[in-house]
A and B are shown apart, each in its own frame.
Chain A
Amino acid sequence: MSMNKLHALSSLEAMLIRFGIAGVFLFETARTIVLPPYSIKPLIKQVAFVGARSLLVIVVAGLFVGMVIALQFYDTLVRFGSVSLLGSAVGLSLIRELGPVLTALMVIGRAGSAMCAEIGIMRVDNQIDALECMAIDPYRYLFAPRILAGIICVPILTAVFILVGIFGGYFVGVILFGVSPGSYFQGMSDTILNRDLFMGFSKSLVFGLLIVWIACDKGFNLHLDKHGAYGSEGVSRITTESVVISSIAILFSDYLLSALIL
């Protein structure tokens, strides 16, 4: 691709072209995911990478987030005399918003940044050129397993976050403040609809895709970076950029998806 002239264009044109390149990146990766040959080993490796990197921090974060929202809701609901709603308030906010969004932000910090740096170093060190020269398609070899791992892991990690969060809320509401355990869980199962579960699930799916897509595209297309740094300085900059861009993309698409589904 003749990207050399990217630098000469206006920033708007350059940005549009850059979006196009990211689109091509996703399209090419999707194509290698759909078409054979399929290989399962690299996928397992990437799932382990994303999962293992993020699991502990997700559990800890889920626990404290569940605890703090139970605390806040309890204090609010007590004023209306309706602490029996605590379970559904905690459950709904975790499933619909906090679970997917906070999990995604954690995964960005733990796995997305590492992925971006790894791919960026491969680009800088000619390892990606070496792959191309060995006639190994980087989309299939590097990115298909990573994108799939994102789509698989983030929903699972989100579910973990939500479950741990509900337990954290239980701990604060039921054990510390004496809300009856029956009403905590009954309220939850009465108010949570399939639509809420669908919303949480589809958000986490989209977030998983976005995180890996942005991280890998940033690293892979490091050499198109308009500031033109190729060495370790370039890697550190695009890694930071990828964290910022994917965080914003998550929050933006979170609003979009909420508005669409509600």
Chain B
Amino acid sequence: MIDPNIKNVIEIEGLNSYYGEKQILSNISLQVERKEVMVIMGHSGSGKSTLLRHMIGLNTAESGSIKLLGKEITGLNRKELYELRKHIGVAFQNGALFSSMTLQENVELPLHEHTRLDHNTIRIMSRLKLELMNLSDNESLMPAELSGGMLKRAGLARAVIMDPEILFFDEPSAGLDPVTSAELDDLILQLRDALNMTIIVVTHELESAFKIADRITVIDNGQQIITGNKQTIRNSTDNRIVSMLERRAMNENIDADDYLNKLTRS
């Protein structure tokens, strides 16, 4: 059904997106190639998660075209969309584990739902993935008993349990200590190299982005500023990119009176 030699696993053309009256994304065009790590960067609230939701068909675009694994997703019915989604894995910003199930049950759910494997095989497969994420001692805990970093890794374990062709990962390192987030970066690279996944990572951590990315897309306020490899980003003369790379605040020259007005406006 899906062409295994397709070059671009994701192709977005002229995507516009709204929440109510508010435009969140304007005219985004983006290709993600097979087996690359594409990092989407931008400030908090710039629309990164929204772009990710469009790629996996959770949000409906106002206009534009989104092709996932060669299929235009806006035209698909639910059944076709589900069929397509069996080839992807999504790790959400907050983990989004099912709170009524243990960690292990969470990770095993897709296997129980989509395969006819017997119980023991499923157990072994889930243990493998939990082991990979350093979670093997915690498999019988409930999500409420896990730390933030554990939740993230558990969400990742569940996302890759079916060995998807494309992995979407929203904010792997946000809120984690540097060591744990570096470990997650290594994991992402391992997934690409060992399991041949195409990986799309949303992050606002500069260091992590440059460590894992093959290419980077920067989004600011819903506008796509640049897409290119690390060198292209580094050589960019765009103010917003330069300030991002130098970790400067975006609007440094704030007028004190303006600022006070902003804080005290009714």
Contacts and interface: CB of A to CB of B under 8 A. Distances in A.
Chain A: number of interface residues, binned into ranges: 20 to 34
Interface string A4-17: 11011000000000
B20 A136 contact: no
B252 interface: no
A84 to B, nearest CB: 53
Given A4-B20, A132-B58, A134-B109, A126 B94 contact: yes
Interface string B171-192: 0000000000000000000000
Contacts of B114: 135
Given A125-B99, A136-B113, A4 B90 contact: no
Interface in B72-101: 78, 82-83, 85-86, 88-90, 92-94, 96-100
B21 interface: yes
Given A8-B21, A133-B90, A121 B113 contact: no
B87 to A, nearest CB: 9
Interface in B214-242: none
Contact of B82 (A8, A127, A130, A137): A137
A134 B60 contact: no
A192 B43 CA distance: 71
Given A134-B110, A136-B113, A127 B86 contact: no
Chain B: number of interface residues, binned into ranges: 20 to 34
Nearest to B88: A133
A109 to B, nearest CB: 21
B167 to A, nearest CB: 11
Given A127-B96, A127-B98, A127-B99, A134 B21 contact: no
Given A2-B60, A135-B83, A126 B20 contact: no
Interface of A: 1-2, 4-5, 7-8, 118, 121-122, 125-127, 129-130, 132-137, 141
Interface of B: 18-21, 53, 56, 58, 60, 78, 82-83, 85-86, 88-90, 92-94, 96-100, 109-110, 113-114, 158
15 contacts: A4-B18, A4-B19, A4-B20, A118-B100, A126-B92, A127-B99, A130-B97, A130-B98, A132-B85, A133-B58, A133-B89, A134-B113, A135-B86, A135-B110, A136-B109
